[in-house]
Amino acid sequence: MKSALLVIDMQKGFLSPVSPLFIAGAPATVSACAHVIARCRAAGVPVFFVTRRYRADGSDVELARRERWRAGGKPLTPGCAEEISEAMPACFGSGAGDYHIRKPRYSAFFSTELDLVLRRLGVDHVILAGTTTPNCIRTSCYDALSLDYRVTVLRDCTSSATEEIQEANLADMARAGAAVVSSEELELEE
Amino acid sequence: MKSALLVIDMQKGFLSPVSPLFIAGAPATVSACAHVIARCRAAGVPVFFVTRRYRADGSDVELARRERWRAGGKPLTPGCAEEISEAMPACFGSGAGDYHIRKPRYSAFFSTELDLVLRRLGVDHVILAGTTTPNCIRTSCYDALSLDYRVTVLRDCTSSATEEIQEANLADMARAGAAVVSSEELELEE
Protein backbone atom coordinates (compact mmCIF):
# COMPACT_ATOMS: atom_id res chain seq x y z
CA MET A 1 0.00 0.00 0.00
CA LYS A 2 1.40 3.39 -0.98
CA SER A 3 0.02 6.39 0.88
CA ALA A 4 -0.29 10.11 0.28
CA LEU A 5 -1.38 12.81 2.71
CA LEU A 6 -3.94 15.33 1.43
CA VAL A 7 -4.07 18.56 3.44
CA ILE A 8 -7.19 20.36 2.29
CA ASP A 9 -8.11 24.04 2.60
CA MET A 10 -5.85 24.83 5.57
CA GLN A 11 -5.70 28.50 4.62
CA LYS A 12 -6.23 31.79 6.38
CA GLY A 13 -9.56 32.27 4.63
CA PHE A 14 -10.92 29.34 6.65
CA LEU A 15 -8.68 29.64 9.73
CA SER A 16 -9.00 33.34 10.52
CA PRO A 17 -11.89 34.47 12.72
CA VAL A 18 -12.20 37.68 10.67
CA SER A 19 -12.97 35.73 7.49
CA PRO A 20 -16.63 35.19 6.51
CA LEU A 21 -15.64 31.60 5.68
CA PHE A 22 -14.10 30.93 9.13
CA ILE A 23 -14.56 27.40 10.49
CA ALA A 24 -14.81 27.44 14.27
CA GLY A 25 -13.16 24.07 14.76
CA ALA A 26 -10.25 24.59 12.39
CA PRO A 27 -7.62 26.57 14.37
CA ALA A 28 -7.47 23.84 17.02
CA THR A 29 -6.34 21.32 14.37
CA VAL A 30 -3.33 23.29 13.08
CA SER A 31 -0.74 21.77 15.41
CA ALA A 32 -1.96 18.20 14.81
CA CYS A 33 -1.84 18.85 11.06
CA ALA A 34 1.69 20.27 11.33
CA HIS A 35 2.78 17.20 13.23
CA VAL A 36 1.38 14.69 10.74
CA ILE A 37 2.79 16.70 7.82
CA ALA A 38 6.25 16.47 9.39
CA ARG A 39 5.84 12.74 10.02
CA CYS A 40 4.81 12.10 6.42
CA ARG A 41 7.70 14.10 5.01
CA ALA A 42 10.12 12.20 7.21
CA ALA A 43 8.61 8.87 6.12
CA GLY A 44 8.72 9.67 2.41
CA VAL A 45 4.93 9.87 2.16
CA PRO A 46 4.06 12.57 -0.40
CA VAL A 47 2.19 15.57 1.00
CA PHE A 48 -0.40 17.35 -1.13
CA PHE A 49 -1.64 20.80 -0.17
CA VAL A 50 -4.98 21.25 -1.89
CA THR A 51 -6.22 24.81 -1.59
CA ARG A 52 -8.62 27.47 -2.87
CA ARG A 53 -7.60 30.56 -4.75
CA TYR A 54 -10.50 32.49 -6.19
CA ARG A 55 -10.44 34.89 -9.10
CA ALA A 56 -11.09 38.52 -8.23
CA ASP A 57 -14.22 38.63 -10.43
CA GLY A 58 -15.79 35.76 -8.47
CA SER A 59 -16.33 33.64 -11.59
CA ASP A 60 -14.97 30.56 -9.85
CA VAL A 61 -16.58 31.02 -6.43
CA GLU A 62 -19.32 28.48 -5.70
CA LEU A 63 -22.68 30.10 -6.43
CA ALA A 64 -23.96 29.25 -2.96
CA ARG A 65 -21.21 31.24 -1.22
CA ARG A 66 -20.51 33.98 -3.74
CA GLU A 67 -22.46 36.72 -2.00
CA ARG A 68 -20.90 35.91 1.37
CA TRP A 69 -17.45 35.90 -0.26
CA ARG A 70 -18.03 39.28 -1.93
CA ALA A 71 -19.51 40.95 1.14
CA GLY A 72 -16.76 39.59 3.37
CA GLY A 73 -13.70 41.05 1.68
CA LYS A 74 -13.15 38.37 -0.97
CA PRO A 75 -11.18 35.85 1.10
CA LEU A 76 -8.87 33.41 -0.69
CA THR A 77 -8.37 35.90 -3.51
CA PRO A 78 -5.04 37.43 -4.59
CA GLY A 79 -4.85 41.02 -3.39
CA CYS A 80 -7.31 40.62 -0.52
CA ALA A 81 -6.36 41.43 3.07
CA GLU A 82 -3.44 39.37 4.41
CA GLU A 83 -5.39 37.90 7.32
CA ILE A 84 -7.82 36.18 4.93
CA SER A 85 -5.40 35.50 2.08
CA GLU A 86 -4.28 32.14 0.90
CA ALA A 87 -1.02 31.41 2.76
CA MET A 88 -0.88 28.27 4.87
CA PRO A 89 -0.03 28.40 8.56
CA ALA A 90 3.70 29.04 8.93
CA CYS A 91 4.17 25.97 11.09
CA PHE A 92 3.41 23.74 8.10
CA GLY A 93 6.75 24.75 6.60
CA SER A 94 7.65 23.73 3.08
CA GLY A 95 8.94 20.36 1.92
CA ALA A 96 11.00 19.90 -1.23
CA GLY A 97 8.73 17.06 -2.33
CA ASP A 98 5.38 18.69 -1.51
CA TYR A 99 2.70 18.99 -4.15
CA HIS A 100 0.41 21.98 -4.46
CA ILE A 101 -2.98 21.67 -6.15
CA ARG A 102 -5.56 24.39 -6.61
CA LYS A 103 -9.13 23.22 -6.53
CA PRO A 104 -12.18 25.24 -7.67
CA ARG A 105 -14.85 23.38 -5.71
CA TYR A 106 -15.38 21.24 -2.59
CA SER A 107 -13.73 17.96 -3.56
CA ALA A 108 -9.97 17.80 -4.05
CA PHE A 109 -10.66 15.62 -7.09
CA PHE A 110 -13.26 17.82 -8.81
CA SER A 111 -11.77 19.37 -11.96
CA THR A 112 -8.22 18.97 -10.69
CA GLU A 113 -5.20 16.88 -11.73
CA LEU A 114 -5.00 15.18 -8.31
CA ASP A 115 -6.12 11.72 -9.47
CA LEU A 116 -3.68 11.78 -12.40
CA VAL A 117 -0.74 12.65 -10.15
CA LEU A 118 -1.68 10.07 -7.50
CA ARG A 119 -1.90 7.36 -10.17
CA ARG A 120 1.48 8.33 -11.58
CA LEU A 121 2.96 8.00 -8.10
CA GLY A 122 1.31 4.62 -7.60
CA VAL A 123 -0.67 5.85 -4.60
CA ASP A 124 -3.57 3.60 -3.55
CA HIS A 125 -4.29 5.06 -0.09
CA VAL A 126 -5.09 8.66 0.74
CA ILE A 127 -4.96 10.16 4.23
CA LEU A 128 -7.27 13.15 4.68
CA ALA A 129 -6.58 16.19 6.86
CA GLY A 130 -7.92 19.74 6.71
CA THR A 131 -11.29 21.46 6.70
CA THR A 132 -14.24 21.35 6.60
CA THR A 133 -15.26 17.82 7.44
CA PRO A 134 -18.84 18.02 6.01
CA ASN A 135 -17.82 19.74 2.78
CA CYS A 136 -14.31 19.41 1.38
CA ILE A 137 -13.10 16.44 3.44
CA ARG A 138 -16.26 14.45 2.86
CA THR A 139 -16.61 15.12 -0.87
CA SER A 140 -12.92 14.22 -1.29
CA CYS A 141 -13.49 11.06 0.75
CA TYR A 142 -16.39 9.87 -1.41
CA ASP A 143 -14.59 10.73 -4.65
CA ALA A 144 -11.52 8.82 -3.43
CA LEU A 145 -13.69 5.80 -2.51
CA SER A 146 -15.38 6.03 -5.92
CA LEU A 147 -11.95 6.02 -7.57
CA ASP A 148 -11.06 2.87 -5.58
CA TYR A 149 -8.55 4.46 -3.21
CA ARG A 150 -8.44 3.29 0.34
CA VAL A 151 -9.22 6.24 2.58
CA THR A 152 -8.18 7.22 6.09
CA VAL A 153 -9.68 10.31 7.75
CA LEU A 154 -7.74 11.85 10.65
CA ARG A 155 -10.30 12.91 13.24
CA ASP A 156 -8.05 15.34 15.12
CA CYS A 157 -6.77 16.91 11.88
CA THR A 158 -10.21 17.68 10.45
CA SER A 159 -12.79 20.18 11.66
CA SER A 160 -16.35 21.46 11.49
CA ALA A 161 -18.41 24.38 12.72
CA THR A 162 -19.62 22.30 15.67
CA GLU A 163 -18.61 19.06 17.38
CA GLU A 164 -21.99 17.54 16.53
CA ILE A 165 -21.46 18.10 12.80
CA GLN A 166 -17.93 16.71 13.08
CA GLU A 167 -19.01 13.47 14.77
CA ALA A 168 -22.02 12.87 12.49
CA ASN A 169 -19.86 13.22 9.41
CA LEU A 170 -17.05 11.02 10.70
CA ALA A 171 -19.62 8.30 11.47
CA ASP A 172 -21.12 8.53 7.97
CA MET A 173 -17.70 8.23 6.35
CA ALA A 174 -16.81 5.24 8.52
CA ARG A 175 -20.03 3.52 7.44
CA ALA A 176 -19.15 4.22 3.80
CA GLY A 177 -15.85 2.37 4.21
CA ALA A 178 -13.28 4.98 5.27
CA ALA A 179 -11.00 4.33 8.23
CA VAL A 180 -11.45 7.08 10.83
CA VAL A 181 -8.53 7.31 13.25
CA SER A 182 -6.60 9.87 15.26
CA SER A 183 -3.25 11.04 13.93
CA GLU A 184 -1.58 9.22 16.83
CA GLU A 185 -3.16 5.96 15.65
CA LEU A 186 -2.00 6.51 12.06
CA GLU A 187 0.60 3.98 10.98
CA LEU A 188 2.90 4.95 8.12
CA GLU A 189 4.31 1.94 6.35
CA GLU A 190 6.85 3.64 4.19
CA MET B 1 -35.35 28.16 -14.18
CA LYS B 2 -35.71 24.75 -15.83
CA SER B 3 -35.99 21.78 -13.50
CA ALA B 4 -35.37 18.04 -13.69
CA LEU B 5 -36.26 15.38 -11.14
CA LEU B 6 -33.53 12.86 -10.30
CA VAL B 7 -34.82 9.66 -8.71
CA ILE B 8 -31.76 7.87 -7.39
CA ASP B 9 -31.33 4.18 -6.50
CA MET B 10 -35.00 3.42 -5.88
CA GLN B 11 -34.48 -0.26 -6.64
CA LYS B 12 -35.33 -3.53 -4.95
CA GLY B 13 -31.69 -4.03 -3.94
CA PHE B 14 -32.08 -1.07 -1.57
CA LEU B 15 -35.81 -1.34 -0.86
CA SER B 16 -36.16 -5.04 -0.03
CA PRO B 17 -35.57 -6.13 3.57
CA VAL B 18 -33.95 -9.35 2.32
CA SER B 19 -31.19 -7.44 0.50
CA PRO B 20 -27.86 -6.91 2.30
CA LEU B 21 -28.00 -3.32 0.98
CA PHE B 22 -31.48 -2.62 2.42
CA ILE B 23 -32.06 0.93 3.70
CA ALA B 24 -34.46 0.93 6.62
CA GLY B 25 -35.98 4.30 5.83
CA ALA B 26 -36.47 3.73 2.10
CA PRO B 27 -39.76 1.78 1.76
CA ALA B 28 -41.68 4.53 3.56
CA THR B 29 -40.67 7.02 0.82
CA VAL B 30 -41.98 5.03 -2.14
CA SER B 31 -45.45 6.56 -2.25
CA ALA B 32 -44.15 10.13 -1.88
CA CYS B 33 -41.67 9.44 -4.70
CA ALA B 34 -44.42 8.00 -6.91
CA HIS B 35 -46.52 11.09 -6.29
CA VAL B 36 -43.77 13.59 -7.18
CA ILE B 37 -42.81 11.54 -10.25
CA ALA B 38 -46.41 11.76 -11.48
CA ARG B 39 -46.53 15.50 -10.77
CA CYS B 40 -43.31 16.12 -12.69
CA ARG B 41 -44.44 14.08 -15.68
CA ALA B 42 -47.73 16.01 -15.76
CA ALA B 43 -45.87 19.34 -15.57
CA GLY B 44 -43.40 18.47 -18.31
CA VAL B 45 -40.46 18.30 -15.91
CA PRO B 46 -38.08 15.57 -17.14
CA VAL B 47 -37.70 12.60 -14.81
CA PHE B 48 -34.35 10.80 -14.56
CA PHE B 49 -34.13 7.36 -12.99
CA VAL B 50 -30.51 6.92 -11.94
CA THR B 51 -29.82 3.36 -10.83
CA ARG B 52 -27.22 0.70 -10.08
CA ARG B 53 -26.70 -2.41 -12.12
CA TYR B 54 -23.61 -4.36 -11.17
CA ARG B 55 -21.67 -6.79 -13.30
CA ALA B 56 -21.81 -10.41 -12.18
CA ASP B 57 -18.03 -10.53 -11.65
CA GLY B 58 -18.21 -7.63 -9.18
CA SER B 59 -15.67 -5.55 -11.10
CA ASP B 60 -17.83 -2.45 -10.78
CA VAL B 61 -19.01 -2.86 -7.19
CA GLU B 62 -17.50 -0.31 -4.80
CA LEU B 63 -14.56 -1.93 -3.01
CA ALA B 64 -16.00 -1.04 0.38
CA ARG B 65 -19.20 -3.01 -0.22
CA ARG B 66 -17.99 -5.80 -2.52
CA GLU B 67 -17.79 -8.52 0.12
CA ARG B 68 -21.22 -7.66 1.49
CA TRP B 69 -22.61 -7.69 -2.06
CA ARG B 70 -21.07 -11.08 -2.86
CA ALA B 71 -22.10 -12.72 0.42
CA GLY B 72 -25.63 -11.34 0.16
CA GLY B 73 -26.72 -12.83 -3.17
CA LYS B 74 -25.28 -10.16 -5.51
CA PRO B 75 -28.12 -7.64 -5.36
CA LEU B 76 -28.57 -5.22 -8.28
CA THR B 77 -27.02 -7.75 -10.64
CA PRO B 78 -28.71 -9.30 -13.70
CA GLY B 79 -29.70 -12.87 -12.91
CA CYS B 80 -29.86 -12.45 -9.15
CA ALA B 81 -33.02 -13.20 -7.17
CA GLU B 82 -36.06 -11.15 -8.23
CA GLU B 83 -36.62 -9.62 -4.79
CA ILE B 84 -33.19 -7.94 -4.89
CA SER B 85 -32.99 -7.30 -8.62
CA GLU B 86 -33.02 -3.95 -10.28
CA ALA B 87 -36.65 -3.22 -11.15
CA MET B 88 -38.18 -0.06 -9.76
CA PRO B 89 -41.34 -0.14 -7.65
CA ALA B 90 -44.30 -0.78 -9.95
CA CYS B 91 -46.12 2.31 -8.73
CA PHE B 92 -43.48 4.51 -10.41
CA GLY B 93 -44.89 3.47 -13.77
CA SER B 94 -43.14 4.45 -16.97
CA GLY B 95 -43.27 7.80 -18.73
CA ALA B 96 -42.61 8.24 -22.43
CA GLY B 97 -40.17 11.06 -21.71
CA ASP B 98 -38.32 9.44 -18.79
CA TYR B 99 -34.54 9.13 -18.87
CA HIS B 100 -32.68 6.13 -17.49
CA ILE B 101 -29.05 6.44 -16.40
CA ARG B 102 -26.86 3.73 -14.95
CA LYS B 103 -24.31 4.91 -12.45
CA PRO B 104 -21.32 2.90 -11.17
CA ARG B 105 -20.71 4.79 -7.91
CA TYR B 106 -22.45 6.96 -5.31
CA SER B 107 -22.98 10.22 -7.19
CA ALA B 108 -25.39 10.35 -10.12
CA PHE B 109 -22.78 12.51 -11.88
CA PHE B 110 -19.71 10.31 -11.32
CA SER B 111 -18.66 8.71 -14.63
CA THR B 112 -22.12 9.11 -16.15
CA GLU B 113 -23.58 11.18 -18.99
CA LEU B 114 -26.05 12.91 -16.65
CA ASP B 115 -24.44 16.37 -16.78
CA LEU B 116 -24.21 16.26 -20.57
CA VAL B 117 -27.90 15.40 -20.95
CA LEU B 118 -29.01 18.02 -18.39
CA ARG B 119 -27.02 20.71 -20.22
CA ARG B 120 -28.50 19.71 -23.54
CA LEU B 121 -31.98 20.07 -22.03
CA GLY B 122 -31.12 23.46 -20.58
CA VAL B 123 -31.73 22.27 -17.02
CA ASP B 124 -30.33 24.53 -14.29
CA HIS B 125 -32.19 23.12 -11.27
CA VAL B 126 -32.19 19.51 -10.08
CA ILE B 127 -34.68 18.06 -7.62
CA LEU B 128 -33.32 15.09 -5.67
CA ALA B 129 -35.32 12.07 -4.52
CA GLY B 130 -34.25 8.52 -3.67
CA THR B 131 -31.80 6.81 -1.36
CA THR B 132 -29.58 6.92 0.59
CA THR B 133 -29.41 10.47 1.88
CA PRO B 134 -25.82 10.28 3.29
CA ASN B 135 -24.35 8.52 0.24
CA CYS B 136 -25.96 8.82 -3.18
CA ILE B 137 -28.23 11.80 -2.54
CA ARG B 138 -25.52 13.79 -0.80
CA THR B 139 -22.72 13.10 -3.28
CA SER B 140 -25.11 13.97 -6.12
CA CYS B 141 -26.08 17.17 -4.27
CA TYR B 142 -22.47 18.34 -3.88
CA ASP B 143 -21.57 17.44 -7.47
CA ALA B 144 -24.64 19.34 -8.69
CA LEU B 145 -23.68 22.38 -6.57
CA SER B 146 -20.11 22.14 -7.89
CA LEU B 147 -21.48 22.11 -11.44
CA ASP B 148 -23.48 25.28 -10.63
CA TYR B 149 -26.94 23.70 -10.62
CA ARG B 150 -29.46 24.91 -8.13
CA VAL B 151 -30.43 21.98 -5.93
CA THR B 152 -33.59 21.03 -4.09
CA VAL B 153 -33.66 17.97 -1.81
CA LEU B 154 -37.06 16.46 -1.02
CA ARG B 155 -36.97 15.44 2.65
CA ASP B 156 -39.91 13.01 2.48
CA CYS B 157 -38.63 11.41 -0.74
CA THR B 158 -35.14 10.63 0.60
CA SER B 159 -34.10 8.16 3.27
CA SER B 160 -31.41 6.89 5.60
CA ALA B 161 -30.76 3.99 7.94
CA THR B 162 -31.90 6.11 10.89
CA GLU B 163 -33.79 9.36 11.41
CA GLU B 164 -30.74 10.87 13.09
CA ILE B 165 -28.57 10.27 10.01
CA GLN B 166 -31.33 11.66 7.78
CA GLU B 167 -31.68 14.92 9.73
CA ALA B 168 -27.93 15.51 10.14
CA ASN B 169 -27.39 15.11 6.40
CA LEU B 170 -30.31 17.32 5.40
CA ALA B 171 -28.96 20.04 7.71
CA ASP B 172 -25.46 19.79 6.18
CA MET B 173 -26.85 20.07 2.64
CA ALA B 174 -28.98 23.06 3.59
CA ARG B 175 -25.88 24.79 4.99
CA ALA B 176 -24.02 24.05 1.74
CA GLY B 177 -26.70 25.88 -0.24
CA ALA B 178 -29.31 23.29 -1.20
CA ALA B 179 -32.99 23.95 -0.61
CA VAL B 180 -34.46 21.24 1.61
CA VAL B 181 -38.25 21.02 1.37
CA SER B 182 -41.04 18.48 1.53
CA SER B 183 -42.58 17.28 -1.72
CA GLU B 184 -45.76 19.14 -0.78
CA GLU B 185 -43.80 22.38 -0.59
CA LEU B 186 -42.19 21.79 -3.99
CA GLU B 187 -43.33 24.28 -6.57
CA LEU B 188 -43.05 23.28 -10.22
CA GLU B 189 -42.86 26.28 -12.51
CA GLU B 190 -43.20 24.57 -15.80
Say if A186 falls within a structural domain: no
State pLDDT tens for residues A45-74: 999 999 999 998 999 999 888 999 999 999
Indicate which CATH number applies to the domain containing A83. 3.40.50.850
Strand order in the sheet with B3-8: B99-102, B47-51, B3-8, B125-131, B150-159, B179-181
Residue A110 lies in a domain: yes
Report residue B3 CA to chain centroid gap.
Answer: 16
Residue B109 in any domain: the answer is yes
The residue in chain A having the minimum alpha-carbon distance to the alpha carbon of residue B142 is: A139
Whole-prediction pTM: 0.90
| Banded model confidence at residue A189, pLDDT cuts 50, 70, 90 | confident
What pLDDT band is residue A190 in, cutting at 50, 70 and 90? low
Give residue A163's pLDDT: 97
Lowest mean pLDDT among A99-103, A105-109, B62-66, B176-180: B62-66
Q: How far apart are the CA of A33 and the nearest CA of chain B, in angstroms?
A: 24
- A107 vs B146: CB contact, 8 Å cut-off? yes
Q: Is A52 helix (H, G, I), strand (E, B) or coil?
A: coil
Question: Which tens digits make up the pLDDT trace of A154-177?
Answer: 999 999 999 999 999 999 999 999
Provide the shortest C-alpha distance from residue A149 to chain B (in Å): 9
| pLDDT of amino acid A18 | 93
The average pLDDT across B128-133 equals: 98
| Number of domains present in the structure of chain A | 1
Q: What is the 3-state secondary structure (H, E, C) of chain B?
A: CCEEEEEECCCHHHHCCCCCCCCCCCHHHHHHHHHHHHHHHHHCCCEEEEECCCCCCCCCCCHHHHHHHHHCCCCCCCCCCHHHCCCCCHHHCCCCCCEEEECCCCCCCCCCCHHHHHHHHCCCEEEEEEECHHHHHHHHHHHHHHCCCEEEEEEEEEECCCHHHHHHHHHHHHHHCCEEECCCCCCCCC
| Chain A residue set in contact with B, beta carbons under 8 Å | 62-65, 105-107, 110-111, 134-135, 138-139, 142-143, 145-146, 148, 150, 161, 164-165, 168-169, 172, 175-177
- Quick check: is B130 in a domain? yes
Residue A188: inside a domain: no
In a domain, A187, yes or no: no
Q: In terms of residue numbers, what domain contains B136?
A: 3-52+88-181
A190 domain residue, yes or no:
no
